[in-house]
Amino acid sequence: MTGLVLFGIALLCLFLGYSVAFTFAGVSVLIGVIVLGADLFAFMPYRIMSIMENTTMMAIPMFVFMGIVLQKTGLAERLLESSAKLFGGISGGVAVSTIIVGALLAASTGVVGASVVAMGVISLPVMLKNNYHQPTAAGVICAAGTLGQIIPPSIILIILGDVMGVPVGDLFRAAVIPGVLLIVVYTLYILILGKIKPEYCPPIEVTEDRRTILVQAVKDIFPPLLLIVTVLGSIFTGIATPTESSAIGAVGALVLSAIYGRFSFKRVHEISGETVKVTAMIFAVLVGATAFSMVFSYSGSEYLVEDFFTQLPGDKWTFIILAMLTIMLLGFFIDFIEISFLVVPILTPVAMLLDIDLIWFAILISMNLQTSFSTPPFGFSLFYLKGVAPKSLKTTTIYKGVIPFILMQVLVLLLVILFPEYLILQ
């Protein structure tokens, strides 16, 4: 029962609003000392050292830095403005441009919060000013922002690769088609909606000539796109590891900021500070989660979970359905980082025992977490958007707007579950 008590107290503390890292560490030490004795934690320094020496995890601060550079230097803003002018002349054009830029930001930041906030500040006012249907405008931003959960170089894929013991490069490769499929489904939905109900997403008036808009769009979109292709291409072709390519991305983002005249050492200092905050938070959670998983494992609870799932009827499919439902429900209340470090280490040994492809399973988890990011009432992207939206945009309006996109995410998730041989690149 030790593992169940440990898990229950940790979830209770998280729901009550206590810090994630200190909850994991504090509950683990308390229960571990009482049940297993203080000698158990003699191993902790070695575990912490192995975390700090993990070269795969070094990619996290680099990719976070790359994304914050694009956001703070205004490059993300230029992307949105140029894309809006390029597609704005058609029904749903601004929404389509938001989806495309959301995908580009996802492929350059991997951080959902940064993408949602950036588009909420820049794209939402344009859509509302041009009489877009408010729920549709909100839904598009939340859906496009959460693409950072699945499109490489997603931070969650890096974490899952480390937690599940699978190559991050393989996860990046496997996530490409599901990510592109989501973009295509979102775009088709907006274009069809624009045909059926043009009043929901009317075209905007573009005063500049087409040639000027096209030239400006190429100037604003091509360099960041080239950086993304370089980073991901170096991983997929085997030229560089994810860690090495993250360094390329960080330096490349600084070069872009210099090319566009947005570079300054003061800004770099500010960006570095933001990067340290995000990285420190992730690694603090990781250290606490390590203590948690150690107590959970040494108490024998790991075998209890294995026995429970292996004795269920339906073999691996019952396990996958229960695992997906559990992750989705937890995603309503706690962040993807906590789920990755708290739940995934418990599920991974069972998946291995049932001979489930861990690459495929990791992609399912990532897509599931993406869905939970947008699901009312506690989806984090909903609150990111509400934080920067005008007061006239009600929370219930945002809830209403994300429902079609949640259904589309679930549809694509089901397709990946049923047809992995076509949708997962190995």
The two tokens of residue 324 are 């997906």
Instruction: Confirm whether 13 is domain-assigned.
Output: no
Residue 12 has pLDDT above 80, yes or no: yes
Instruction: Confirm whether 189 is domain-assigned.
Output: yes
Instruction: Confirm whether 106 is domain-assigned.
Output: yes
Write the pLDDT tens digit of every residue in 339-355: 888 788 889 988 998 89
Q: Which among 309, 327, 318, 330 has a CA at the least distance from the CA of 363? A: 327
Instruction: Confirm whether 12 is domain-assigned.
Output: no
Write the pLDDT tens digit of every residue in 37-54: 888 888 788 888 887 887
Q: What is the DSSP string of 222-256?
A: HHHHHHHHHHHHHHHTTSS-HHHHHHHHHHHHHHH
Average pLDDT over the chain reads: 85
- Tally of structural domains, the chain: 1
- Token look-up 């975390």 returns 51
Task: Give me the pLDDT at residue 362, please.
Answer: 94
Average pLDDT over residues 145-168: 88
CA 176 from centroid of its chain's CA atoms: 14
Residue 403 has pLDDT above 90, yes or no: yes
The helix (H) or strand (E) run that includes residue 313 is: none
- Could you tell me the residue range of the domain that residue 223 belongs to? 54-263+299-423
Are 288 and 21 in contact by the 8 Å Cβ rule? The answer is yes
Instruction: Confirm whether 124 is domain-assigned.
Output: yes
Write the pLDDT tens digit of every residue in 278-333: 888 878 877 887 888 788 777 777 677 777 777 777 778 889 999 998 888 777 76
Handedness of CA 382, 387, 389, 395 (dihedral sign): positive
Instruction: Confirm whether 31 is domain-assigned.
Output: no
Instruction: Confirm whether 293 is domain-assigned.
Output: no
The two tokens of residue 35 are 């049940």
Instruction: Confirm whether 393 is domain-assigned.
Output: yes
Task: Give me the pLDDT at residue 366, please.
Answer: 92
Q: How many other β-carbons are positioned within 10 Å of the β-carbon of residue 411?
A: 13
Write the pLDDT tens digit of every residue in 95-151: 998 898 888 877 766 667 667 877 787 788 888 888 899 999 999 999 998 888 888
